[in-house]
């Protein structure tokens, strides 16, 4: 029988702590996905028989939107073809793992999934980049799923820090200053733009980000590091 565990730390307002169902198995996970149907939430992370459900709070969603704007602006400025799969569920039964990131992108492997409406990880590659925005919960379970699915790069972003994690030859993630899938962009400069956001003038912030991407990032040598 499945059991439910919740963290001791809890908040009635803006709650985002996950609720975890233990010993639910792949069939139970599949049933939960079908019950949710086309709704975006709760997001689910499946790992070794347990499912964690999360309903992101407002600060999480705001940070995710800002990061999405930066990523898209940089990709467009660098003329890098891409396809966004948003919060698509990526899962593989043999790995006992499934995840729905805040964002996911095909960049390097774009040609391999062109014109496909769905992705099957039994024959298709995983996304090249996944984004995890953390507000009150950690990303350890999601990162283990990404590792098993062999996602090349994951950005983990919180209010105080942005980390680029790149999958190494040893099958483990390691922190890198510069992205491996979006050449010439660094975690420090992306985070600095997040810190410059003014919620009273989002239009100006968006305009500034797009201008920076076009005038500063776009012309960089593709092998150059962000500054």
DSSP structure class, residue 113: G
Q: Work out whether strand 89-92 and strand 97-100 pair parallel, antiparallel, or are unpaired.
A: antiparallel
Report which of 62, 46, 66, 65 is spatially closest to residue 54, judged by C-alpha positions.
46
Q: How many domains does the chain have?
A: 1
Q: Is 42 a member of any domain?
A: no
pLDDT at 7 over 90: no
Mean pLDDT computed over 197-208:
90
Q: Is 146 a member of any domain?
A: yes
Q: Is 34 a member of any domain?
A: no
Q: Which domain holds residue 208?
A: 57-217
pLDDT at 223 over 80: no
Report pLDDT for 62.
85
Q: Is 203 a member of any domain?
A: yes
Q: What 3-state class would DSSP assign to 150?
A: coil
Report pLDDT for 185.
94
Report pLDDT for 124.
97
Report which of 131, 80, 142, 78 is spatially closest to residue 110, judged by C-alpha positions.
80
pLDDT at 14 over 70: no
Strand 97-100: give its sheet, edge to edge: 3-5, 19-22, 50-54, 43-47, 97-100, 89-92
Report pLDDT for 136.
57
pLDDT at 163 over 50: yes
Q: Is 118 a member of any domain?
A: yes
DSSP structure class, residue 181: S
pLDDT at 131 over 80: yes
Q: Is 1 a member of any domain?
A: no
User: Tell me, what CATH number does 113's domain have?
Assistant: 3.90.1570.20
CA-angle at 68, arms to 126 and 50, nearest 5°: 50
Query: Comparing 215 with 200, which gets the higher pLDDT?
Result: 215
CA distances to 97, 101, 130 from 90, rounded to whole Å, are: 8, 9, 11
Q: What is the mean pLDDT of the chain?
A: 87
Q: Is 113 a member of any domain?
A: yes
pLDDT, tens digit, 9 for 90 and up, residues 147-160: 999 999 999 998 78
Q: What 3-state class would DSSP assign to 152?
A: coil
Q: Is 4 a member of any domain?
A: no
Q: Tell me the range of 18-22, 83-87, 145-149 where mean pLDDT is highest.
A: 145-149
Report pLDDT for 156.
95
What is the rounded CA–CA span in Å between residue 78 and residue 75?
5
Show the tokens assigned to 24: 């639910």
């Amino acid at each position: 029988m499945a059991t439910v565990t919740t963290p001791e730390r809890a908040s009635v307002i803006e709650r985002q702590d996950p609720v975890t169902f233990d010993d639910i198995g792949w069939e139970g996970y599949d049933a939960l996905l079908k019950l949710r149907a086309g709704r975006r939430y709760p997001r689910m992370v499946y790992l070794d028989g347990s499912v964690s459900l999360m309903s992101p709070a407002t600060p999480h969603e705001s940070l995710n939107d800002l990061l999405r704007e930066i990523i898209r602006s940089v990709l467009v400025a660098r003329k890098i073809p891409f396809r966004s799969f948003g919060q698509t569920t990526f899962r593989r039964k043999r790995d006992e793992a499934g995840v729905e990131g805040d964002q996911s992108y095909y960049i390097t492997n774009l040609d391999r999934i062109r014109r496909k409406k769905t992705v099957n990880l039994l024959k298709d590659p995983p996304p090249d980049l996944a984004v995890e925005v953390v507000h009150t919960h950690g990303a350890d379970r999601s990162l283990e799923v990404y590792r098993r699915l062999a996602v090349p790069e994951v950005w983990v972003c919180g209010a105080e820090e942005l980390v680029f994690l790149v999958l190494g030859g040893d099958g483990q993630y390691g922190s890198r200053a510069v992205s491996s899938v979006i050449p010439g962009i660094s975690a420090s400069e992306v985070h600095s733009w997040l810190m410059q956001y003014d919620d009273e003038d989002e239009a100006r912030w968006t305009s500034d980000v797009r201008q920076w991407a076009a005038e500063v990032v776009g012309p960089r040598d593709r092998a150059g590091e962000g500054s």
